[in-house]
A and B are shown apart, each in its own frame.
Chain A
Amino acid sequence: MQDEIIKVNNISKSYTITHRESYETIRDKVTELAKKPFQMFAGRTHTEKEKFWALRDVQFSVKQGERLGIIGRNGAGKSTLLKILSQITYPTAGDVMLRGRVASLLEVGTGFHPELTGRENIFLNGAILGMKQSEIRKKFDEIVAFAEIEQFLDTPVKRYSSGMYVRLAFAVAAHLEPEILIIDEVLAVGDTQFQKKCLGKMEDVAKGGRTILFVSHNMGSIHKLCDSCIWLDRGKVVAAGDPQNVIMQYLDYQSKGRAIFTQEHQSKKKMNLRKVFLLDGRAQIGRLVNFDDDVLIAIEYEINQEVNNCLVWFTLSSGDGIEILCSTDYDLHPELKGPRSKGYYRTTAVIPKKVLSPGSYNILVGINSNNLPSETFDRIETISFDVVDNGSSPKAMFGEMSRSGFLQPFLDWQTQKVSEKTDS
């Protein structure tokens, strides 16, 4: 069962961006038309053209039952790739071989007609997605139950709430049974509850041995659903292979913030900051930290002349700038309030694992004296890092689409049944 079910051979796709020439007149156009009557329709007018390569020599293959995730920035060529694989548009060069029935979900509810009822739209949408009428009839009850719209079946969908609409649309799509399923970010629909249901359904489909191609910006769902991954950038495959690996590389590249902060020696200051970085036990690491690893922040500083009653502190804030906590080096070591002699110091602080929600964080480091008047030697935005969901966060473990809050600790819940009776 390790046959190649999809084989993409060096496909490229170019679009022509046309800049119209400003001196083109109706008369020119008419004479031109008279010379070559069908030119206008073939689109070969005399305008300046520029080629834009949406995909360039993309090559990969997918095995039977494999679930391939495709990641990349907006405009990286992901959608173009899916469109080519779905036969909506054609490559400029190269070819693709597909074995078996392909269904693509580039959007939920394609072809829904607002005037038609829910029942009618199930048949219409199903047919558009490539289901046979007999197949739809067989799965009809299942679809309706999944969408939770029983009592609105005979209402035109234009009177549906947007939630109902999306639920119905996804329900139809979820009951497709092709050999190859191509999905573009359609999971980001509906309320949290329904998203969870969708993700669950997707997993069922995946476990059913179907081959899936899945584009998403949600690294969590790629990680959870896919067993291999490719990263596209500017139309090219930058990395391919194990999802965790590719996602790490992608995030690492994506993040603009520094993973290491360094500063020169400043002899005029009593104290100065030299270096801030992340540690992994012993070695310095990049800016990515697994959810289930401790975050070790190392701060190196110099004391140029002996100081008394000083402190080193940092604040941790979220990627969007909200301060989460502030911590100082003397919190657990009051002896540090005393004098510190000249020298090069290194201090490390541990933010325990399985606490910070997956996301981006910034570290602001400060060095102050607590004497009156207090003196600030350094106060610098130093490094950023990302906590990466490798599937071990509560959110990922239970397939939730989102969980609010900066912290995601496993709290100790204890649940007992107190009595058989309820209060009614």
Chain B
Amino acid sequence: MAYQEVTTIKPKKGWVGVNVKELWRYRELFFIFVWRDIKIRYKQTAIGVLWAILQPFLLMVVFSIFFGSFAKMPSNGVPYPIFVFSGLLFWNYFSVSLTNASDSLVSNENILKKIYFPRLILPLSPTMTPLVDFAIAFIVLIGMLFYYHFTPTLIGIVILPLLLFTSFLSASGLGMFLAAINVRYRDIRYALPFFIQSLLFVTPVIYPTSIVSSQYQWILKLNPMTGIIEAARAGIVGGKQIDFTLLAISGIIAAAIFLFGIFYFRKTERIFADVA
């Protein structure tokens, strides 16, 4: 009999690379997990997938009333609802992915302790599920663009996948890191909602970067979501040019976060089943 695979199990120490070949072999499981999460997302709800429209839409309405009408927040000369909704689109993808990824190991603990598969699948697959919500919310945005008579620029549409990919890198990178810590310290569960809420204030979702004084601009720029949301707004809603330098910085930071997340995850992976 010809054996295709020889597995060697040894004590693991130090930093470990990513076994891409193995990940590829388990791609079906990755998609099954994505499919499972989508399937169960709106189970036993009365209005089902409508929530994917209602959630960002209602948030947009609330923000428009309080920040747009009452606080008179500047919005680069575009109507505030469009301004805030285009920001929320990416922000929601980022925050939901991050939350799900951070919780992924703990919520799949029973599987983690009983079956082997590349553990990276767990934090990565829940960053795919919110893409469905993103797509639905994007349709709502298109409706709003029609309503306000805006035409997105061609370059805006072209870079959209790139922006989404950068959001994925940031969310999953941070998610893998937090998921690994969460296995041992469940504090993450309680700290994360607070962290995400705070992060919303250092991301130009409800305000434009222009209202932050230039000496503190660098703080915003360290946040990869800043470049993403700014570029998305400039490209889709218009009002100003896309700042490619800022976008490049965001891309580099997002990639760095992703790599750090993946390696930290791989390094701590061996103890997951023991401490979960």
Tell me if A102 and B115 are in contact (CB < 8 A).
no
| Interface flags, A172-189, vs B, CB<8A=1, else 0 | 000000010000000000
Residues of A within 8 A of B110 (CB): 110-111
With both beta carbons as reference points, the residue of chain B lying nearest to A121 in the complex is identified as B36
Residue contact A99 to B3, C-beta cutoff 8 Å:
yes
Q: Let me know if A99 and B111 touch, CB within 8 A.
A: no
- Verify if B8 is at the interface (C-beta below 8 Å from A): yes
Q: Is the CB of A90 within 8 A of B116?
A: no
Q: A110-B115, A116-B39 are in contact. Are A1 and B10 (CB under 8 A)?
A: no
Nearest to B6 among chain A residues (CB) is A99
How near does chain B come to A341, taking the closest CB pair, in angstroms? 70
Q: A89-B274, A91-B11, A116-B40 are in contact. Are A132 and B28 (CB under 8 A)?
A: yes
Q: Are A89 and B273 in contact (CB under 8 A)?
A: yes
Q: What residues of chain B lie closer than 8 Å to A120, measured between beta carbons?
A: 36, 39
B181 at the binding interface (Cβ < 8 Å): yes
Contact of A116 among B8, B10, B36, B111 (CB under 8 A): B36
Number of B residues contacting the other chain (C-beta, 8 Å)?
36
Interface residue? A206 (CB, 8 A): no
Q: How far is the CA of A85 from the CA of B273 in the complex (A)?
A: 13
Task: Assess A124 versus B32: contact at CB under 8 Å? Given A1-B1, A115-B40.
Answer: yes
A95 surroundings in chain B (CB, below 8 A): 8-11
In the complex, what distance in Å separates the CA atom of A341 from the CA atom of B176? 88
Among B3, B39, B114, point to the contact of A106 (Cβ < 8 A): B114
In the complex, A88→B114 CA distance in Å?
7
* Residue contact B111 to A91, C-beta cutoff 8 Å: no
Assuming the contacts A99-B5, A99-B6, A128-B29, asked whether A89 and B115 have C-beta atoms less than 8 A apart, the reply is: no
Nearest B residue to A3, CB-CB: B1
Does chain A have a CB within 8 A of B186? no
- Flag whether A60 is at the interface (Cβ < 8 A): no
Tell me the nearest residue of chain B to A129, going by C-beta.
B115
Asked if A328 is an interface residue, CB under 8 A from chain B, the answer is no
B240 at the interface (CB under 8 A from A): no
Asked if A359 is an interface residue, CB under 8 A from chain B, the answer is no
**Chain A nearest Cβ from B108, distance in angstroms:** 8
Closest Cβ neighbor of A64 among chain B residues: B1
Complex formed: what's the CA distance from A43 to B274 in Å? 13
- Number of interface residues, chain A, beta carbon within 8 A: 45
B3, B110, B114 pick with most chain A CB within 10 angstroms: B114
Indicate if the CB atoms of A104 and B116 lie closer than 8 Å: yes
Q: What sequence of 0s and 1s flags, for each residue 128-166 of chain A, a beta carbon within 8 Å of any chain B beta carbon?
A: 111011000000000000000000000000000000000
Residue A336 at the B interface, CB < 8 A?
A: no
Of all chain B residues, which has the CB nearest A16?
B274
- CB neighbours (8 Å) of A93 from chain B are 11
Check: B113 CB closer than 8 A to any chain A CB: yes
Given contacts A90-B10, A91-B9, A127-B32, contact A104 B115 (CB under 8 A): yes
A98's nearest neighbour on chain B, judged by CB, is B7
Q: Contacts A1-B1, A115-B43, A116-B39 given; indicate if A98 touches B115 (C-beta within 8 A).
A: no
Instruction: Find chain A residues with CB under 8 A from B36 CB.
Output: 113, 116, 120, 124
For window 1-20 of B, CB contacts with A under 8 Å fall at 1, 3-12
Q: Which of A41, A83, A104, A127 contacts B29 (CB 8 A)?
A: A127
B192 to chain A, nearest CB (A): 15
B69 interface residue per 8 A CB criterion:
no
CB contact under 8 A between A96 and B111, given known A15-B274, A86-B116, A128-B29: no
A107 touches B (CB below 8 Å): yes
Residues of A within 8 A of B24 (CB): none
A179 to B175, CA, bound (A): 35
Q: Does B72 contact A (CB under 8 A)?
A: no
Known pairs A98-B8, A99-B3; list 17 more (Cβ under 8 Å).
A88-B112, A88-B113, A88-B116, A89-B274, A92-B11, A97-B8, A99-B7, A100-B3, A100-B4, A102-B7, A110-B115, A115-B39, A124-B32, A130-B115, A130-B117, A132-B28, A133-B32
* Interface residues in chain A, defined as those with a beta carbon under 8 Å from any beta carbon in chain B: 1, 3, 15, 40-41, 43, 64, 83-102, 104, 106-107, 110-111, 113, 115-116, 120, 123-124, 127-130, 132-133, 179
Query: Can you show 29 pairs from A to B with CB atoms below 8 A apart?
Result: A15-B274, A40-B185, A41-B184, A83-B273, A86-B115, A87-B9, A88-B112, A89-B270, A89-B273, A90-B10, A91-B10, A95-B8, A97-B7, A97-B9, A98-B8, A99-B7, A100-B3, A100-B5, A101-B5, A106-B114, A110-B111, A110-B115, A113-B40, A115-B44, A116-B39, A124-B32, A127-B32, A128-B115, A132-B28
